[in-house]
Amino acid sequence: MRNLFNKGLLYKEFKSIKLLGILMILSIFIFKTFQVFNLVYDSDVLSELTGSNYFNKNHYYMLNFYYILEFDGFSFDDHGNNMVVFFIAMIILTILLSFSQMYFDKKSRGISISFMIPVDKGTIMLNKIMVSIFTIFIVFFINTLIIIFTVLLNREILSNVIIIDILKWSLRNIMAYSLIYLVFMFIQALSINIIESVIVGFFAINIPYIVILIIKWLHDNFFISTSFQSTLETYFYFLWPLNYIVNDKSYLESFNGLINSQVYQTDVEPFWLHKILLMGFFIVIVLLLTLYFYHKNSFENHKKIVFKENILLQLAMLFVSGFGFIVLFLRFDNGKLDKFYMNPILLTAVLFATVMYILSSKYIAKNISKKLKRIDK
Amino acid sequence: MIKVSELKKTIGKKIILDNINLNVKHGSICGIVGRNGAGKTSFLKCLMGLWNFDYGKIHMKNIDVKTNSQFKKFTVFIPDEINIPNNYKVKDAEIFYKHAFENFDTDYFYKLLNLYEISINENIGNLSKGIKLKLSIALNISRKPDLLILDEPLSNLDPVSRKELINILISCASDKKMTILISTHNILDVQKFCDSFVILDEGKVLYSGSYEYLKNKIIMARCVLKSDIPDKLSELKGIIEYKIMGKSVTIVLENNDGNLDAIKKLSGDFELINLDLEEIIVYMLGGKTLEKLI
């Protein structure tokens, strides 16, 4: 353990994300306090919810993203909560966490002070990751404390089940945000510039959802049975970090105002520990890949340039970002996918994604030539 | 202290470092000289394990830098761009060093701060380049390293600060028995305080050794012009350059066996002129005829 962590590195990383950590804690404090207090002390909501089974099963939805179920566009609801703004803010802050930690190490020819310490690159990365995940943990720990505290104030809804569910919900969120953070770290360890990291990273976190779409398409058009499709979909939903954040309701669906869609409901409901194990496994895989690529490739501009010359990587990135745009522009018809491959909007979206990618590649190519010039100097 | 053998580094298809061999003895000051793009910084980055290399071995105190990062415990690298974040105060940098490095001597660091007149509460972003360099040196020397590697530290300093830094480096080598490796464009400084030096050009070592040795290898001779000298000179091997000025001819040549004798036969008598290191290097890099010397 002593070799894995270096006090100096931890100090540096805490310093680099100090402001963001404070922002995260503040945002969760402000949003959550308003939301939970409003909910607990709103007698109409309470009487409606406590009298139904719905509340018992879904109280943690209610405590966190209940209002998103009624969400229609970017307007504030009756209770003054705008959770979409909240979770978008949290996602952005999480992404910024990874950028802020990589920025100084990658911004110039200058060599980061981290590399002067007698530890290997993997350890440097591990220290970065640990500091951020610890920050995310603290944020949701505070969030959990706020919820538990407010629930304790109202004996009507207080029960052991609620407390356990709140803890489960917090753990799911910690894992989801940690995964988003790790995916962006991973993309940054590979990519040359921030713009590319944002484009590819954002869509990389939607890969499980893309796989779900492919499974649906195969089911609708080819040989996959309904039960097999349902099982696969369920498991991929548990690998999709945004799914955890919005409590199984697609934020993309909210974007389109398609509240009545049933596409996310599946017959199979794995045990909650099972979900967390699955998510944990996914996190470990991404973590190991991140450490590997950081150790192997990063901080060698020329290596990245050679890497970028690899046409397969370009195509893979095009695939990821292209499907990402498909996800964004996806349309449903009565809760079912309307043969998305035939949809002209989707075709336009793919075209748009391709153009965007070519443009960003040009930008990247410019950067490469700049870096080559620097190396020549 | 440092042993580099057959080091090769490529970027894409471009060869950045080609078959570098180097030995630096403990307690000595070694300069690395070369033009822009010669591969000085790349070489230092490879030495520090910051860049991977394709072929060869680098050992510091018998530790392989490619596989073991523990050599950084006794090695300090001061890059051309100071790497302490601008949002740090001097105090923050001290805390970082204290936690990151086992041997960091706080008392000694404060002594150096007093010597350089740097306040502990100063914001690093507000410091000038020269002061930042001094701070970086204070922080790194306080680690009590055995090996100090500096990448072009003299290029951004005024003459007074440059002299101060040179004095510090000399005292580090003589009093604290540190080994120092310094890359620079300023050849005359190297001539003044380096025990040995390496000339890099296009990723290759053009020369490695002492100034004294090199001084005897490249010489300038002035002799009386006779009508057939220019024709016969061009037949001689190892002639780097010759200039005819009035009735005399100045010849720069490699001091190979028989060269001077041949000139003596041509002109009867000649006068040897001492070249300084800068002139020697300019002739070497311009002529590139000295690969045989390595």
pLDDT tens track of chain A, all 377 residues?
556 788 888 888 888 888 888 888 888 777 766 666 655 555 455 445 444 433 333 444 444 433 333 333 333 343 334 555 667 778 888 888 888 887 766 654 456 788 888 888 888 888 888 999 999 898 888 877 877 776 666 655 556 656 676 677 677 778 888 888 888 888 777 765 666 677 677 777 777 777 777 777 777 777 778 888 888 877 777 777 777 665 544 333 433 333 233 333 434 444 455 556 666 666 777 677 666 666 655 444 444 444 444 445 555 556 655 555 555 445 444 444 444 444 455 555 556 655 665 555 555 555 555 655 565 55
Residue A261 zone, left/alpha/beta (φ > 0; ψ -120 to 50; rest):
beta
Q: Which of residues 82-121 of B touch A (CB under 8 A)?
A: 82-85, 87-88, 92, 95-101
Do the Cβ atoms of B131 and B113 come closer than 8 Å? Answer: no
Partner B contacted by A373 (CB < 8 A):
no
Q: Which residues make Cβ contacts (< 8 Å) with residue A96, sequence separation at least 6?
A: A20
| Interface probe, candidates A113, A119, A300, A368, chain B, greatest B C-beta count within 10 A | A113
DSSP symbol at A114: G
Question: Is this complex's ipTM strictly greater than 0.85?
Answer: no
CA–centroid distance for B162 within its chain: 15
Task: List the B270-273 sheet strands across, edge first.
Answer: B239-245, B248-254, B218-224, B270-273
Task: Tell me the CA distances in angstroms from B47 to B3, B8, B147, B190, B278, one per residue in order.
Answer: 10, 12, 12, 20, 26
> In this structure, what token pair is assigned to residue A265?
């409901």
For tokens 């990383």, what's the residue? A13
Please tell me the distance from the alpha carbon of residue A349 to that of residue A26, in angstroms, as a whole number.
37
Please tell me the distance from the alpha carbon of residue A131 to that of residue A4, in angstroms, as a whole number.
13
Asked if the Cβ–Cβ distance from A11 to B12 is below 8 Å, we say no
Do the Cβ atoms of B12 and B72 come closer than 8 Å? Answer: no
Task: List the B204-209 sheet strands across, edge first.
Answer: B75-78, B147-151, B179-184, B29-34, B196-201, B204-209
Task: Tell me the CA distances in angstroms from A230 to A25, A125, A189, A207, B208, one per residue in order.
Answer: 37, 38, 35, 18, 71
Per-residue pLDDT of chain B (294 residues; tens, 9 = 90+): 888 888 888 877 788 888 888 888 888 889 898 878 888 888 888 888 888 888 888 998 888 888 888 888 889 988 877 788 888 899 999 999 999 998 899 999 999 899 888 999 999 988 888 888 889 889 998 998 999 999 888 877 788 878 888 888 888 888 888 899 999 877 777 777 888 888 888 888 888 888 777 777 788 888 876 666 666 676 777 777 777 777 778 888 877 767 777 777 777 677 888 787 777 877 776 654 434 333
The whole-angstrom distance between B230's CA and the closest CA on chain A is: 39
Q: Which residue in B80, B69, B27 sits closest to B47, CA to CA?
A: B69
Do the Cβ atoms of A152 and A259 come closer than 8 Å? Answer: no
Please tell me the distance from the alpha carbon of residue A7 to that of residue B99, in angstroms, as a whole number.
5
Partner B contacted by A9 (CB < 8 A):
yes
Which residue among A110, A375, A376 places its CB closest to the CB of B79?
A110
Chain A residues lying within 8 Å of B66, measured CB to CB = none
Please tell me the distance from the alpha carbon of residue A162 to that of residue A154, in angstroms, as a whole number.
12
Partner B contacted by A104 (CB < 8 A):
yes
Query: Residue B190's CB: how many other CB atoms inside 10 A?
Result: 26
Interhelix angle A311-328/A344-376, nearest 10 degrees = 140
Q: Which long-range contacts (CB under 8 A, 24 or more apart) does B35-39 make?
A: B35/B185, B35/B201, B35/B285, B36/A377, B36/B185, B37/A376, B37/A377, B37/B202, B38/B200, B38/B201, B38/B202, B38/B203, B39/B9, B39/B200, B39/B202, B39/B203
The whole-angstrom distance between B16's CA and the closest CA on chain A is: 9
pLDDT digits (tens, 9 = 90+) for A104-142: 666 544 567 888 888 888 888 888 889 999 998 988 888
> In this structure, what token pair is assigned to residue B79?
């890059």
Please tell me the distance from the alpha carbon of residue B206 to that of residue B227, in angstroms, as a whole number.
35
Asked if the Cβ–Cβ distance from A7 to B99 is below 8 Å, we say yes
For strand B204-209 and strand B196-201, is the pairing parallel, antiparallel, or unpaired?
A: antiparallel
Please tell me the distance from the alpha carbon of residue B230 to that of residue B241, in angstroms, as a whole number.
11
Q: What's the alpha-carbon Rg for chain A, to the nearest Å?
A: 22
The whole-angstrom distance between B89's CA and the closest CA on chain A is: 12
Q: Side chain identity at A215, as an amino acid letter?
A: I
Please tell me the distance from the alpha carbon of residue B34 to that of residue B161, in angstroms, as a whole number.
22
Partner B contacted by A302 (CB < 8 A):
yes
> In this structure, what token pair is assigned to residue A238?
């548990």
Query: Residue B35's CB: how many other CB atoms inside 10 A?
Result: 14
Please tell me the distance from the alpha carbon of residue A224 to that of residue A280, in angstroms, as a whole number.
28
Partner A contacted by B50 (CB < 8 A):
yes
Q: For residue A7, what is the nearest residue in chain B, using CA coordinates?
A: B99
Partner A contacted by B12 (CB < 8 A):
yes
